[in-house]
Structure 1
Amino acid sequence: MGNKENAKYLRAKKKVTALKGFYTHTFVIAVVMPFLLFINYKTYWDYQWFWYPLVSGILSVIIHGLVLMGNNSNWEERKIREYMDKDNINY
């Protein structure tokens, strides 16, 4: 496998890993939040503390999704090339 194919493979693998992390994050939020709601309902419903982790969890999933959708590694590639050119490394 050539150098370009290897770089493409590594970029694709990085994207798949990030997507897997997003799906895992979303699944965990979807499972944990009803459990916290149940605990709050059974213990002391007058103070509804479950809203804090619910809002922060949803916000974190939204931010994770936006980062994943906007993950453009062109700047990373340019920076790597810049440093490699600075050190006179050929690839």
Structure 2
Amino acid sequence: METINEYKYKKAKEQVECIKGFYTHLMVYVIVISVLAYFNYATTSFPWVLFPALGWGLGLTAHGLRAFGYMPFLGKDWEERKIKEFMERDE
């Protein structure tokens, strides 16, 4: 059985990995959308680049909210309550 410190370390490490993943996602987003914007500018006057930028941007926003701990619906409080509920039920 793991101790409280091991559990806290594991959760902190997961949080750091999630934040690192967000920054990687952000860099890829900026690079790809920039390339698409260039192609859009070079080929047509219709701003089609807005569609992937907005769609992917919504996913990136959700990733950022999760990485930095802001979940308005199923946040940390809900998660902790459910964990305690299941632990008590299984005793």
Measured against the shorter chain, the TM-score band is 0.7 to 0.9
TM-score by length of 1: 0.77
Which consecutive unaligned segments of at least 5 residues does structure 2 have?
none
Query: Which of structures 1 and 2 has the larger relative contact order (alpha carbons within 8 angstroms, sep 6+)?
Result: 1
Aligned to 1:27: 27
Matches of 2:5 and 2:18, distance apart in 1:
20
How does 1:52-91 map onto structure 2 within 5 Å?
52-69=51-68, 70-71=70-71, 72-88=75-91
Q: Matches of 2:9 and 2:58 in 1, distance apart?
A: 31
Give the residue type in structure 2 aligned to 1:48. Answer: P
Letter in 2 for 1:31: I
The alignment covers a number of residue pairs equal to 86
Aligned-pair CA distance for 1:82:
1.4
The range that moved more, 15-24 or 67-76, is 67-76
When the two structures are superposed, what TM-score results if normalisation uses the length of structure 2?
0.77
**Structure 1: gaps (5+ residues):** none
Larger Rg: 1
